[in-house]
Amino acid sequence: MVVDLGMSLEDARTFSLQQILERLKDEHSALKKELDHVQEMTSHMVGVLGSEESKWLLQEISKQMEAFMQQLEAHEHWEEDEVLPLLAGYVNQGVEPTFLTSTWVLEEDHKQAERFVRSFLEYADQCKGADSIKLKKAISLLSVACSVLSEHLLSEEEMFFPVANQMLSNIQAKA
């Protein structure tokens, strides 16, 4: 469709790749910002453990994490449908032989993060009172979940961005 606008095929490929890379960066930035917000709320909750406010914060954090996971799922589906096929097609030309193995590792990281988030959400749902021992366990589960999610996003960036940037460089060098 972009070619119909008078662009050469190489210009269209460059434009498409630039859009994908920009969206990838934007979505990762938004996801990391959301994780930072959850961690800030969690830090505040630690300061008020045992109070009614901590109980309320736990419920708010749970809602935030449910929304975060929906955003992450949409992001992951987009990556699987558009980003990975594009990058895998390029790396299969001999640039990076471990790319497919790395994508498998990322998928496993994502599953692990999901398990931690689900564990947190289930435990948070059971914390009806403001019992500080239960809240500490919920915080611990959330902390691990956030850490795994942050590492997952960083790993994706370390794997995807260099390949996409190399693709752009190669396309531009041919032009």
Query: Over the stretch 93-116, which tens digit does the pLDDT of each residue have?
Result: 555 557 767 777 888 888 898 999
Per-residue confidence (pLDDT) for residue 1, from 0 to 100: 44
State the Cα–Cα distance between residues 144 and 27, nearest whole angstrom.
22
Q: Quick check: 4 pLDDT over 60?
A: no
State the Cα–Cα distance between residues 56 and 127, nearest whole angstrom.
11
Mean pLDDT within 81-87: 84
Q: Quick check: 54 pLDDT over 80?
A: yes
The alpha carbons of the chain give a radius of gyration, in whole angstroms, of: 20
Per-residue confidence (pLDDT) for residue 29, from 0 to 100: 95
Q: Considering only 11-15, 43-47, 77-81, which range has the smallest mean pLDDT?
A: 11-15
Q: What residues contact residue 164 under an 8 Å CB cut-off, 6+ apart? A: 17, 20, 21, 24, 87
Q: Quick check: 132 pLDDT over 90?
A: no
Q: What is the mean pLDDT of the chain?
A: 83
Global confidence as pTM = 0.83
Per-residue confidence (pLDDT) for residue 31, from 0 to 100: 96
104 or 43: which carries more pLDDT confidence? 43
Per-residue confidence (pLDDT) for residue 48, from 0 to 100: 87
Mean pLDDT within 126-132: 71
Per-residue confidence (pLDDT) for residue 149, from 0 to 100: 92
Other CB atoms within 10 A of residue 134 CB: 17
Q: Quick check: 118 pLDDT over 80?
A: yes
Mean pLDDT within 158-168: 83
HSE value, Cβ hemisphere, 13 Å, CA-based, for 66 = 10
Query: Over the stretch 5-40, which tens digit does the pLDDT of each residue have?
Result: 566 666 667 778 888 889 999 999 999 999 999 999
For residue 132, what is the enclosing H or E element?
A: helix 132-174
